[in-house]
């Protein structure tokens, strides 16, 4: 091992710049995602059409979840980046080609199987839905299974580009997927006329999503081909690194499989609740995932290649880097949690309240979002911790812990969803909030167990109570001011209300953390 005399400071330029590039790409793609969801909410609200879309999109997601970004990052990047670090570019190119060949075969086979089994899957998952709703969902599933196969290939491209530190290009790619759906809905609405809510418009959305998957992969391909030295598509026979990748791949796929199983269970359970529960849960999850993607995933994704290169260094060096990453995550996730809990209605209304999505839908979505928000800091921090395990070539520990997380989420969710469904507003109920609380309980258990297991490998690596307390105080003060403004300001358009409350929240938080001396995380991520 090479031991450095001093750990690097929190202001290592490369760390902040990489995270900024990832975050910028994710932010732009998520912005288009919100535009897509706002158009969707306008046309479909929380109707049966909306339920069918959320179900049709989630069911094929098994392919993407099993073989997509998280799995490939854990199994591909450490080996590919390691080969590059050793100057073995030819071997790296052959390894990338073998990975693409294997993924194409596996993802294509699973997508074809999903198309064939779609009617059976829908009947099993949603037995209480009427035949017309089941038939529509089946058609959507058959369109969207091939789309998820394309998104797996896009995840392969992302892994290659991340290893070459081309973060922005990789994470900007989903913009094209979202554009495909936005254009399909707007064009379909013009074609089918009003009322826009129709089977034809929903199917147009499905075909738009498939075309968007093609565009997303096509955007990345020219950038990947710049690194084609030694690149040949194969099935991996005798290619250096493939056996190690498959060995790492198994436990990660198993972990993703159990997480995917949990998502499917949540979908089935939501389908047993009052009509609209599936779509409400989808709207809430979009907001829940945003800060995890922007800050948890951006930092974890940028750190994985660097931690992989540091694998042979002293445990203290790795621990210091993990600690800095956790501090940066919590700097953003703590205020995000309080904002969703206290101002979730304002945020939901500003983003979605239009057309078929009204005040009742806003309140119920806020309730589900608040339940998810409780687990936000843990869920985002776990991304960083898992990246540390993957960089250290330990994929089995996160997998074992994922099983416990999923079991806890399902147990707590099933226990709480029926009592929660007794409450609600109008015809919409809060049963999905019970499932969200289960997800939060599982997220915190995963975080605690990952921290404990990683501590045994590299020693103390936590964010430090000093940072957590100060960030929490600043976020609490910002929340109190924003809630106070919401209570005294006159009624206005939801977007205006959001500007009057959420913007002051952000300004106060940034100002107070700067005064308390913990604003360095923001400055680091803002470095260019």
Range with lowest mean pLDDT among 23-32, 331-340, 464-473:
23-32
pLDDT of residue 411: 93
Asked whether residue 120 is domain-assigned, the answer is yes
Q: Which residue has the tokens 């096509």?
A: 218
Query: How far apart, in whole angstroms, are the C-alpha atoms of residue 4 and residue 340?
Result: 42
Number of domains present in the structure of the chain: 1
For residue 91, being part of any structural domain is answered with yes
225 in any annotated domain? yes
Say whether pLDDT at 336 is over 90.
yes
- List of residues 6+ apart from 21 with CB closer than 8 A: 167, 168, 171, 302
Cβ 52 vs Cβ 202: under 8 Å? yes
Residue 339 lies in a domain: no
In whole angstroms, give the CA distance from residue 157 to residue 522: 29
What is the distance between the terminal CA atoms of the chain, rounded to a whole angstrom? 32
Domain presence at residue 19:
no
Tokens of 69: 């970004």
Domain membership of residue 2 (yes or no) is no
Contact 334, 469 (CB under 8 A): no
What average pLDDT score do residues 431-453 get?
93
- φ/ψ of residue 197, rounded to 5: -65, 105
Predicted confidence band at 212 (pLDDT cuts at 50, 70, 90)? very high
Mean pLDDT, rounded, for 89-110: 83
**Structure-token pair, residue 414:** 């099933």
Q: What distance in Å separates the CA atoms of residue 118 and residue 141, rounded to the nearest whole number?
A: 6
Dist CA 507 CA 318 (whole Å): 33
Radius of gyration of the chain (CA): 23
Say if residue 80's pLDDT is above 90: no
Distance CA 382, CA 380 (A): 5
What average pLDDT does range 46-60 have in this prediction? Answer: 86
3 state SS of 268: helix
Residue closest to 268 by CA, chosen among 437, 440, 121: 121
Work out the average pLDDT over 415-426. 88
CA distance 6 to 19: 23
Going by C-alpha positions, the residue among 521, 524, 427 that lies closest to residue 471 is 521
Q: Which of 450, 439, 424, 430 is nearest to 374 (CA)?
A: 439
pLDDT at 1 over 60: no
What pLDDT, on the 0 to 100 scale, is given for residue 7?
38
**Domain hosting residue 108, numbered range:** 25-247
Cβ within 8 Å of residue 224, ≥6 positions away: 157, 160, 161
CA 317, CA 336: separation in Å to the nearest integer?
A: 29
Sign of the four-CA dihedral 23, 25, 28, 34: negative
Q: Which pTM does this prediction carry? A: 0.75
- CA–CA separation, 78 vs 43, rounded Å? 44
Helices and strands (H, E) in the chain, number of each type: 21, 2
Name the token pair of 341.
Answer: 């809990």
Distance CA 388, CA 376 (A): 19
Q: Are 482 and 505 in contact (CB under 8 A)?
A: yes
Please check whether residue 268 lies inside any domain of the structure.
Answer: no
- Three-class SS of 173-236: CHHHHHHHHHHHHHHHHHHHCCCCCCHHHHHHHHHHHHHHHHHHHHHHHHHHHCCCCCCCCCCC
Q: For residue 296, name the pLDDT band (cuts at 50, 70, 90).
A: low
CA atoms of 364 and 349, how far apart (whole Å):
11
What pLDDT score was predicted for residue 224?
85
Per-residue pLDDT, 315: 63
Q: Where are the alpha helices (DSSP H) in 421-490?
A: 431-458, 465-488
Kindly give the residue spans of alpha helices, DSSP state H, lying in 374-420. 376-391, 396-420
What average pLDDT does range 57-86 have in this prediction? Answer: 70
User: CB of 377 within 8 A of CB of 337?
Assistant: yes
Residues forming beta bridges with residue 354, ordered by sequence position: 357
Q: What is residue 88's predicted lDDT score, i.e. its pLDDT?
A: 80
Neighbours of 423 (CB within 10 A): 12
238 — alpha (psi -120 to 50), left (phi > 0) or beta? left
Would the pLDDT of 295 be above 80? no
Q: 3-state DSSP call for residue 429?
A: strand
Residue range 449-463: mean pLDDT, rounded: 86
| Helix/strand/coil percentages in the chain, nearest 5 | 80, 0, 20
Residue 6 maps to a domain: no
Q: Give the chain's mean pLDDT.
A: 82
């Amino acid at each position: 091992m090479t031991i450095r005399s001093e750990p690097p400071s929190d202001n290592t330029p490369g760390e902040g710049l990489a995270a900024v590039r990832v975050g910028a790409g994710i932010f732009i793609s998520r912005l288009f995602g919100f535009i897509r969801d706002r158009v969707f909410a306008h046309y479909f609200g929380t109707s049966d059409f909306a339920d069918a879309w959320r179900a049709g999109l989630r069911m094929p997601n098994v392919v993407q979840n099993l073989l997509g970004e998280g799995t490939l990052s854990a199994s591909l990047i450490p080996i590919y980046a390691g080969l590059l670090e050793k100057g073995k570019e030819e071997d790296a190119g052959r390894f990338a080609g073998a990975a693409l060949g294997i993924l194409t075969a596996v993802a294509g086979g699973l997508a074809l199987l999903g198309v064939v089994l779609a009617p059976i899957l829908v009947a099993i998952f949603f037995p209480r839905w009427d035949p017309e709703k089941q038939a529509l969902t089946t058609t959507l599933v058959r369109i969207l299974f091939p789309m998820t196969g394309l998104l797996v290939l896009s995840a392969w491209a992302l892994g290659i580009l991340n290893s070459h530190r081309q973060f922005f290009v990789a994470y900007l790619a989903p913009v094209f997927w979202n554009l495909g759906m936005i254009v399909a809905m707007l064009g379909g609405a013009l074609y089918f006329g009003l009322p826009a809510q129709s089977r034809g418009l929903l199917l147009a959305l499905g075909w738009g999503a498939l075309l968007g998957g093609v565009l997303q992969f096509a955007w990345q391909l020219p950038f990947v081909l710049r690194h084609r030295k030694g690149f040949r598509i194969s099935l991996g026979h005798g290619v250096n690194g493939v056996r190690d990748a498959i060995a790492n791949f198994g436990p990660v796929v198993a972990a993703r499989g159990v997480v995917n199983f949990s998502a499917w269970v949540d979908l089935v359970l939501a389908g047993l609740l009052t009509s609209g529960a599936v779509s409400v849960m989808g709207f809430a999850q979009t907001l829940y995932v945003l800060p995890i993607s922007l800050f948890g995933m951006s930092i974890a994704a940028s750190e994985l290649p660097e931690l992989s290169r540091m694998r042979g260094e002293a445990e203290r060096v790795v621990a210091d880097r993990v600690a800095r990453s956790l501090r940066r995550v919590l700097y953003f996730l703590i205020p995000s949690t309080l904002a969703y809990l206290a101002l979730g209605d304002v945020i939901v209304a500003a983003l979605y309240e239009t057309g078929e999505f009204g005040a009742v839908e806003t309140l119920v979505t806020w309730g589900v979002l608040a339940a998810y928000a409780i687990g936000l800091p843990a869920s985002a921090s776990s991304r960083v911790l898992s990246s540390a395990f993957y960089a250290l070539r330990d994929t089995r520990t996160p997998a074992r812990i994922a099983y416990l997380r999923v079991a806890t989420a399902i147990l707590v969710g099933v226990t709480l969803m029926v009592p929660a469904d007794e409450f609600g507003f109008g015809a919409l109920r809060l049963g999905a909030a019970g499932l969200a609380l289960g997800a939060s309980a599982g997220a915190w258990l995963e975080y605690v167990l990952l921290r404990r297991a990683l501590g045994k490998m590299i020693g103390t690596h936590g964010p430090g109570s000093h940072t957590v307390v100060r960030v929490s105080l600043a976020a609490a003060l910002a929340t109190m001011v924003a809630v106070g403004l919401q209570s005294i300001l006159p009624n206005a358009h939801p977007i205006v209300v959001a500007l009057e409350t959420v913007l002051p929240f952000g300004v106060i938080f940034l100002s107070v953390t700067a005064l308390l001396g913990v604003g360095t995380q923001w400055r680091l991520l803002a470095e260019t």
